[in-house]
Amino acid sequence: MPMSSVAHTFLPPKFMRRQSLVGVAVLSLFLAGCGKGGGAPAGAAPPPVQVGVVAVTQGDVGLVTELPGRLEASRIAQVRARAAGILQKRLFREGSDVKAGQPLFSIDAAPYAAAVASAKAGQARAEANLAQATALAERYKPLVEANAVSKQEYANAVAAQKQAEADVAVGKASVQTANINLSYAAVTAPISGRIGRSLVTEGALVGQGEATQLAVIQQINPMYVNFTQSASDVMKLRAAMAGGQFKRATGGDSASVRIVLEDGTEYSRPGRLLFSDLTVDATTGQITLRAEVPNPDGQLLPGLYVRVRLEQAQATNAMTLPQQAVTRTAQGDTVMVVDADGKVSSRNIKIGSSKGTQWVVLDGLKAGEQVMVDGFQKLQMIPPGTPVKAVPWTPAGAAAPAASASSAAPAASAAAK
């Protein structure tokens, strides 16, 4: 038989009643001590649940669309050899900036210098013939009036003079052509910009039969960025502008353009929209657009893939809300609104587009209303219609230091004890 059973068997009944009374007294004293220790009184209502809210403000909100694009030099010129001959010198440093008219290559000019000399000699011969023909015509003029020579001889002399004048003109043109060919032996930069690597080396025969490409110059300040946009989006935007719902971003046909680099950073200098294509690509349904971006430091390079943030219009009297405050379903977009009494109600809204981490709200809210951003899980723990306490919402990054400081306070007090 167990010892406990034996003890209960042999204890007197009076002793067992006394032990029970002592246990009841100890339990009552313990409960009384808990009540005096600051616990919530029986029947008291719990404090209201706190939820984070943002106040709705109205204003002109830019409608930003992010599209893929690729950078391109604003001007590209191929440096070609227009004179045939042996390349003698390269007069530039590869990858450097060159000015328009700067000498780049030197081609053997001896044959062209000889052609200039030959053309000048032909011009001199034509000028000598002209002088002789002019003198003869002037001598025959008084003689034909005195019938000392026939009119036919005088006519032949005048014709010879005019032919000599034409020969002189041909000689001058030949000299000019020879000088032009001689100038082609010194290859210069057609535009200012940054020149790439040399495509030929000294000693190469260039310009023989065709204009040999020698190098490429690209003008990278400013830069062009080419991108495409859906034709349907463009048509909707134009219809909204025509209806007065949106207005243009900066007036006229211009638009604000920002460039986002591959690492996610935004380029410091804004660009401007130059044009949008008049036709739609039949295979993709896209419209080609081009923007101009300043590049004085050479940070942007041709061929670089970028993201283009295009602000073509602004929504008037629109509002922005954090994306986590909006519930998007197939039935529509809704938010939770907290009134002055702390009552929470659902509200249908109309979303226009996104701007960073926020939604642009076009309709459904009024200025000054409070919209819930966090605390949705707390609502599931209280009965429907229970008032809540609205507190200003702060983003997670801004709230982190405060949260860490509050969590450190209990630890410091515990360490002090």
Distances (CA, A) of 416 to 405, 409, 410, 412: 17, 11, 10, 6
Six-digit token string for 307? 């993201």
pLDDT score for 7:
42
% of the chain surpassing 90 pLDDT: 39
pLDDT score for 237:
67
Amino acid residing at 167:
D
Helix (H) or strand (E) holding 373: strand 370-374
Amino acid residing at 257:
V
% of the chain surpassing 70 pLDDT: 79
Q: Is the confidence at residue 234, as pLDDT, over 50?
A: yes
Distances (CA, A) of 235 to 172, 229, 242, 292, 361: 62, 11, 11, 23, 21
pLDDT score for 389:
86
pLDDT top residue among 48 and 414:
48
In whole angstroms, give the CA distance from residue 310 to residue 317.
20
Reported as a single tens digit per residue, the pLDDT across 332-390 is 899 999 988 888 888 999 887 777 788 888 888 888 889 999 888 888 888 887 888 88
In whole angstroms, give the CA distance from residue 362 to residue 59.
11
Other Cβ atoms within 10 Å of 167 Cβ, number: 18
Distances (CA, A) of 229 to 100, 224, 280, 285, 312: 36, 16, 10, 9, 12
pLDDT score for 367:
85
pLDDT score for 26:
44
Reported as a single tens digit per residue, the pLDDT across 126-182 is 999 999 999 999 998 898 888 888 899 989 999 999 999 999 999 999 999 999 999
The confidence band for 229, taking pLDDT boundaries of 50, 70 and 90, is confident
State how beta strands 246-248 and 305-322 pair. Answer: antiparallel
Other Cβ atoms within 10 Å of 45 Cβ, number: 6
Residue ranges and CATH numbers for the domains of the chain are: 109-184 (1.10.287.470)
Q: Which residue has the tokens 């210098």?
A: 113
Q: Is the confidence at residue 324, as pLDDT, over 50?
A: yes
pLDDT score for 281:
82
Q: Nearest to residue 87, comparing CAs of 224, 241, 214?
A: 214
Q: Is the confidence at residue 8, as pLDDT, over 50?
A: no
325 burial level (CB within 10 Å; 0-12, 13-18, 19+): buried
Whether this model's pTM surpasses 0.75: no
Of 166-170, 245-249, 320-324, 387-391, give the range with the top mean pLDDT.
166-170
pLDDT score for 89:
94
Six-digit token string for 331? 């039935």
Helix (H) or strand (E) holding 151: helix 151-183
In whole angstroms, give the CA distance from residue 417 to residue 411.
10
